[in-house]
Structure 1
Amino acid sequence: MSTVSVETEALYEGATRIATSAAPAPVKATRAPLSRVRAATEAVDGLVNASLPALHEAVIALEERRLAAPRVDGRIIGTGEADFTKGNTVYQLNHKGKTFQLLDVPGIEGDENRYAKMVEEAVAKAHLVVYVNGTNKKPEKATAEKIRSYLRWGTRVYPLVNVRGNADSYEFDSDRESLESHGGVLAALKQTVGVLDTVLPEGVLLPGNCVQGLIGFASLAVNSISGKTNIHPSRDKDLVIQQRNYRKYFASYKAMFEFSQLGVIAKLVDAKLPTFREDIIESNKVKVRQLLAANIADLQTALADHQRFVNDVSGSFKDCRNLVETSLITFERLLANGISNRWSDFFNALSERADTIVAKNFGENEVIGSELRRASSALQIKVGEDIQTHLQTLLEELQERARDAMQRLIVDVQRMQFLQGMKLDAGDRAAAFRIEQLDMSLSLKEWGGIALNIASYAVTGATIGSAFPVIGTLIGGIAGAAIGALMSVVGFFTSKEKRIRKAQAQVQNKIDDLRSEVMRKLPGEVAKIAGSIRKEMADSVLAQIDALHAKLVRPLAVIEQQIAAMSNIKTQLEHMPYGTIQAIQR
């Protein structure tokens, strides 16, 4: 059996010197009643047989309380029957004037879904997690993965193998040489560390140890002065018996303590005492940095996903704008051709009517002028109505093509959204941001608010017939040409038919001049109408396309700003001196 070291003896003395103040409830024992005493007088009978038993019980109860007063240990140790922690339990530990908290959490072997949230909350608070393998078996990889899932806040892990064994396991001297000498102990520790090391992040796992918890408890649950047990009377039938049996094979309680290797854990705590405040601050800083790093990684993933989405739909936006531009070009071409054709029809019809009017009313100059003006006005009204109808048709077709372009864009964006969602789901990524979180309002139910306002342009078409005032002023010139032909001196020496043809020719020349003047001005007039339509398209349809694109692109800037802000905080935390916290500079 190994000799107790000075260091271990100091740890043992410090542990057993701690006084306890909690007083346990008395333990009731079954005792036979006192035999009745035959008294000489009635007064003596009342004193002896009535008062003496009560006094006897009181004395016994007092002695039981006195003997049980220091016995407070072991009440939280399980009995092995339905023995598992059902919730987080906090214990206060005092060591060398410092107060610590020990959080006892439910086990994570098997199915612990009911307690997963409690374990996660406890680990989030902890600065050190002690993983106890109490089975001496190799842990399941799934168990290590559960631990990792709880450790996303950066807490370190200290593995322990709690070696089990009753007193007869240590009967011979060779059994008490060292705890590691027992078969399978070191293998269990090696397997435990190996499984954890393959799963936990680098730098999280501390070197592991083996302990014999029950022997360690039994060695400390004793009064260092009297040598009597401190185990609570309620555990007389199990823990007290085990303590007594262990003591049979060990030279002293101190030897039991050293053999148990609980001192290794005490040394681990001792090593942290000088800097424990700084260590706690630094641990919290590590947690914040890792939380920031995890969020930055999620945001970078979201940024890359969204950038790919924007790149994928950029072609659809370009196609949509091209379709709108093509529709405008088609509109302008058809508008120009339609107006030109209708004014050509106007002048053709006016020419025909002019010949008839001159021939029919030859010699009646006022009638010819009046009829020409009446014919021109009637034809001009018809031109205005035709152009208005033509413009109305073209505007409706333009609106329909623009609506189709927007519908195609929306379908493309929604298809890209669906494909992106499938990629994210297939990758099983829990990105912090997804496209469907955007409120893009992609439906066409409000198309009337973003389409062309064609009603106003349909009204302007009604005045198209009077858009060229030169017509009204030149009609008089046409009539004057006919009158001039009639009044010519030469006309008195020619036949009536020749004079009519001459008058008709001069009227036709004036109509041709008027045709040329009007046709020359048509492109400018068409450009005015087309320009108004282009502006309306830019202010409505194209503006909505740009707004939708801007809404899709805007998250990129927001995510980049968040990444920059979090990276700035993380960098400042990394450069703070160990164990200190400073104000974050923006």
Structure 2
Amino acid sequence: MLAQRTSQVQSLDLPRKTQNNNPAYIYDEIIASVQESIDRITQSPSPRLDHESVAHEKEKALALLNDYKLKISGALEELRSLAEWDVFTISMYGETNAGKSTIIETLRILLGEPSKRETQAKFRSIAQRVQFNGEHIATLQDRLKAAAAQKQLSEQDLQALRLRHSGAEDGLQQRLKQLKSDAQHKRSALSLWQKIFHLFKKLEEEKQLADEARNLQHLQAQHRASEHEYQARIDDAGAQAQRHKQELACIQDSLAQLAPLQDGSIIGNGHSDFTLESQSYHFDVQGQKITLLDVPGIEGEESKVSEAINGAVKKSHAVLYITRKPSPPNKGEGNQLGTLEKIRQHLGSQTEVWAVYNKGITNPMALRGPQLLNDGESASLQDLEKELRAQLGDSYQGCISLSSLPAFYSATDCLLPTNSHYKNRQKFLAGMDAEALLEKSNFSSFVRFISQEICRGYKEKIHRSNVRKIQVGVQDGQRMLDEMFKTFSTARQNLSKQHKSTTRELDNLEDAIARRIKSRCRDRLAEAKTKKRQAIYCHIEDDLSNDDFKLMLESTIDALKTELVEDLQEALHAEVEVFEAEIKEVVTRFKKNADEILELNINRHFGAGPGHFALEFKIDNGINTFGLLSSLGGATAMIWAAFFSSNPLGWTLAAALGAVTLIFSLYKSVRSFFSTSYKMEQQRKSADENLAKVFDKIEDMLDERLAEAAGEMKQTIDKLKQQLSAPLHSVMAVIQALQTASKDMAHIESKIA
């Protein structure tokens, strides 16, 4: 830990009430202590800083600590809002479809949870008013179908009967029509006498017509009676169907009222994320208040349930980790968290964690053995316990085995025949009574564990659990500081290496430019000396008198004043351009590398991934490239000034010209008078001597000016080095602030009990 690497913790007294562990004040006092610590650091006078950008970075370091203060205070405020100091709270935590809700539902029934008692009472009250057993409903449905079928069949028979009746009546109608036509035709053919005779006696056709009319009326009466009988059957079948339908509707209405009141409504349906929000269930067992939290499964879609899971476990004083597998939880791969990592992340701050192996049993034959677990399951559970103890330390308390579904079947009696649990319950209870089923599933002992053992000394457990969460919150803050310290320390090391490397490069460039300028200038002087010698030798070949030679020599050397300045300026300009380009390359490369170091070691490191401090802190490296290069241009101007200000070559040449002499002995004078070759030889010798004296003097003065220019250049390079150290100083300012904060956080943690 960072706190262990730093010196002795300075005094930071916590308020007296915190040390007395007063629940009403502990959060306020810890938050106040954290704020006091950070405020004291951020409000302390800053030391004198050599660069304006470093002061700016110190401000960012303090802003970072203020952000840290807000996060720690926010975390403690969240704990305060979730903390429960009066009711012992237990979270049912575990994988998706592990049976957490089944365990809770069974406990609600067996321990008489108030809301469960209320719904069961409503269920039984409604159930008393109606028969809703499956056989009765099936009988009514069959009768309804039979009555409907009978009605339909009778309607079909009536329709067929009516067709037959219609055919028979149509035949008689045709017979009557024919007889009537025949009678009318026969009367029309009678003589007058016959017509008079038949006024008192009907024709044979008329007699038949009357008989057939009576037959039709009799047939129609028979038909109506027969049809009425069939219609009565139809009406009776319809009435029966309506009665059955109404009775079924009444039952269905009752079932609709009963459906939401059934036991097991909170039990998952096998789909992932059936439980998305934590649900609270409150119990009063022998005067002790207990709350059970049904926590969403940790293997569901994490974005949907993470907030609910974190809130539940922070509220809890004990956690039951429910699993359907006796083997250890799986580990993650790469950046993907496995169940084991999630358990460590979620339950690391708990004081009491139990494992509950919820064996999945769907066939009553599985309970016929002497023990609930087989040898393989017992061995696997030992591995599970070993892994959980390694992850959770002393917080892990042990493992409990049970089978919740058979226990639920034993406890419930508020189910509808349409419920999938209804027939399963009958199947389990067919071979074993309810009490035996509870014992064989180990749920009776689990009920005693929940109602008696785990709650023993609950006041101390509540206090210890809540204080532990506060301690972990402060420890998390300490780990944040530690992580930030390590990250900034790595950045400091890398920046220090980069700065040292760049400093060496600048030193090498400084030495190289001095050597190159000196070498280039000496080369130009040597070239100028050679050219002047050759020019003088050419004049000597013109057979000059000694007086003319002296005038020519003085004139030639005097011309150096302009020629050398231009020549040396050209040489210096070429070298300084190379020097500027090299310095620019070094500075640009340093800025690029410093940016990469800060990005890779600081900004990118503090991403928002699991377990990381979500840092929003962009540290400016403090390098102003444009300003640096401008100052570099000023340095090159100093080099020019050092060489050419006050006309240094002018007075150097004046001193040199004063040294031009032609000293000949009498013998040499007479001989030169008679010998032209001898005279020219002596003139060349004099030219060599005078040129040597002049250029020696120029070189001496050039070395002096070069030393002055090197000093000016060194001052500028030193300022450049200092400016390049700004990112390093910035990171060191952050590290110093983190060290102070870490000392205080360690002191705060030591005072929490």
Contact kept in structure 1, 2:364 and 2:427, CA below 8 Å: yes
Q: Are 2:745 and 1:569 equivalent residues in the alignment?
A: yes
Deviation at 1:93, TM superposition (A): 1.2
Identity %: 12
Q: In structure 2, what is the Cα distance between the partners aligned to 1:190 and 1:462?
A: 87
Match of 1:92 in 2: 280
Kept in 2: contact 1:93–1:99 (CA 8 A) = yes
Aligned twin of 1:292: 477
Q: Which amino acid aligns with 2:396?
A: L
CA distance in 1, matches of 2:388, 2:400: 14
For residues 303-338 of structure 1, the C-alpha deviation after alignment (integer angstroms, 9 at most, x for no partner) is 564465456556634542441242144146436745
Structure 1 pair 292–346 and aligned structure 2 pair: CA distance change class (3 A) = same
- 1:382 match: 563
Q: Which one of 147, 166, 180 corresponds to residue 340 of structure 2?
A: 147
Matches within 5 A, 1:6-45: 12=110, 14-15=112-113, 19-21=117-119, 29=137, 31=140, 32=143
Instruction: Encode CA deviations 1:493-540: one digit per residue, 9 max, x unaligned.
Output: x99969xx99xx9xx99999999799668645643455345534643x
| Bigger mean CA deviation after superposition, 349-358 or 232-241 | 349-358
Give the alignment of 1:139-218 within 5 angstroms: 139=328, 142=331, 146-153=339-346, 154-156=348-350, 157-165=353-361, 166-167=363-364, 186-187=378-379, 189-198=381-390, 200-218=391-409
Which secondary structure does the structure 2 equivalent of 1:576 belong to? coil
Q: Once the 2 structures are TM-superposed, how far is the Cα of residue 103 of structure 1 from its aligned partner?
A: 0.9
Other-structure match for 1:395 = 576
Distance in 2 separating the partners of 1:69 and 1:86: 19
TM-score, normalized by length of structure 2? 0.50
* 2:727 equivalent to 1:551: yes
Over 3 Å counting, the alpha-carbon distance change for 1:299 and 1:257 in structure 2 is same
Say which is worse superposed, 394-403 or 94-103, in terms of deviation: 394-403
Indicate conservation of the 8 Å contact 1:163/1:210, yes or no.
Answer: yes
**CA apart distance, 1:218:** 4.0
Q: Secondary structure at the match of 1:208?
A: strand
Determine whether 1:131 maps to 2:331. no
Letter in 2 for 1:330: R
TM-score (norm 1): 0.61
Q: Structure 1 pair 98/412, CA: closer, same or farther in 2 (3 Å)?
A: closer
Matched, 1:115 2:301: yes
Partner of 2:466: 281
Aligned residue for 1:555, secondary structure, equals helix
Cα distance, 1:571 vs structure 2 = 3.9
Question: Is the 1:219–1:253 contact (alpha carbons within 8 Å) kept by the matching residues of 2?
Answer: yes
Alpha-carbon distance between aligned partners in 1 of 2:364 and 2:538, rounded to the nearest angstrom: 133
What's the CA shift for 1:94? 0.9
Match of 2:414 in 1: 230
Task: Point out which structure has higher relative CO (alpha carbons under 8 A, 6+ apart).
Answer: 2
Task: Indicate the structure (1 or 2) with the bigger Cα radius of gyration.
Answer: 2
Distance in 2, matches of 1:149 and 1:576, equals 27
Quote the Cα distance in structure 1 between the aligned partners of 2:259 and 2:589: 86
Question: Secondary structure, in 3 states, of the residue corresponding to 2:267?
Answer: coil
The answer to which of 525-534 and 179-188 deviates more is 179-188
Name the amino acid aligned to 1:104: P
Q: In the alignment, is residue 75 of structure 1 matched against residue 265 of structure 2? A: yes
Equivalent residue, structure 1, for 2:17: none
**SS class of match (1:94):** strand
1:101 maps to which of 293, 302, 305: 293
Q: Which amino acid aligns with 1:197?
A: R
Aligned counterparts of 1:17 and 1:406: Cα–Cα separation in 2: 74
Alignment of 1:508-527 (within 5 A): 523=700, 526-527=703-704
Using a 3 Å threshold, how does the CA distance of structure 1 residues 273 and 377 change in structure 2: closer, same or farther? same
Q: Contact between 2:359 and 2:402, CA under 8 Å: does it hold in 1?
A: yes
Distance in 2 separating the partners of 1:183 and 1:462: 97
Q: Note the residue ranges of structure 2 that are not aligned, 5 or more in a row.
A: 1-106, 149-227, 229-234, 606-610, 664-669
Aligned residue type for 2:744: N
Partner deviation per Cα, 1:128-178 (whole Å, 9 max, x = no partner): 54332325x43465489632344235144420122455555667xx95xxx
Please give the alpha-carbon distance, in whole angstroms, between the structure 1 residues aligned to 2:479 and 2:557.
81
Stretch moving more, 208-217 or 14-23: 14-23
Output aligned runs, 1:455-474, within 5 Å.
Answer: 456=637, 466-470=647-651
Distance 1:559 1:129 in 2: 39
Letter in structure 2 aligned against 1:115: E
